[in-house]
Amino acid sequence: MTDDRLARFEQRRTELRQMTDEQLKARFWELCEQVMAPVVELARTHTSPSIERSVLLRMGVDSLSSHGVVERIYQAGLLGRGAGHVVLEVAERDGTDVRGAAAAILTSEDILRGLTVGGGAR
């Protein structure tokens, strides 16, 4: 290690030694948030139909239905919210389960009307 690097290490070590366990835990989570912030932002802003179909499959929607549901959600301009989120919102609003909501999205032209890109109903 270079002298500069050793000096920085010793400074950080001294600062960390003075912290309580609670302060160390808080610092740990602060650093985790800093490291993960770009990953979370990327996941929030970048999705694809294949990712959204995969989410629906894991929620119990069959493969054939997931294709149609994602396409309907995409056409409604809601894919950025996440297909799973949209399906859950429809299920909650209509008092049905995930599969029922997926089936309703496939069969009803108007079921997504009233949902907004930012969330909730208009």
Q: What is the DSSP string of 16-72?
A: HHTS-HHHHHHHHHHHHHHHHHHHHHHHHH---HHHHHHHHHHTT--HHHHHHHHHH
User: What is the CATH topology of the domain spanning 49-107?
Assistant: Helicase, Ruva Protein; domain 3 (1.10.8)
Averaged pLDDT score across all residues of the chain: 90
Domain boundaries, the chain: 3-45, 49-107
pLDDT class of 113 with cuts at 50, 70, 90:
confident
Check whether 86 has a pLDDT greater than 70. Answer: yes
Whole-prediction pTM value?
0.62
- Picking from 96, 107, 66, 106, the residue whose alpha carbon sits closest to that of residue 84 is 66
Q: Which residue has the higher pLDDT, 114 or 100?
A: 100
Region 7-33 average pLDDT: 94
Check whether 116 has a pLDDT greater than 70. Answer: yes
